[in-house]
Amino acid sequence: MAYSSGKEYPLVSRELVFIMSRMEALNIVSQALKFKTMVHSCIGFHQILNLESLIRNRKQAMPS
């Protein structure tokens, strides 16, 4: 018998269990990459906001 996450499967489905575990691993990696991309885009957005406020502060500090 082949085992996966505590469940018992007949030997014929060993390949299926292997494929399913690989798909699950790929799904986890995919979600992690999406999260990383989201975090990076948020960081980029905040950097743009900081740059805009820096420019605004410099313009206000300049004598007219």
Q: How confident is the model at residue 7 (pLDDT cuts 50, 70, 90)?
A: low
Q: Looking at per-residue confidence, does 40 or 9 come out higher?
A: 40
Q: Looking at per-residue confidence, does 41 or 11 come out higher?
A: 41
Helix (H) or strand (E) holding 62: none
Is a pLDDT exceeding 80 seen at residue 8?
no
25-38 pLDDT per residue, tens: 999 999 999 999 98
Q: What is the residue extent of each domain of the chain?
A: 2-61
How far are the Cα atoms of 4, 6, 12, 18, 63 from residue 25, in angstroms, in the given order? 13, 17, 22, 11, 59
15-64 pLDDT per residue, tens: 888 898 999 999 999 999 999 998 888 888 888 888 888 888 888 887 76
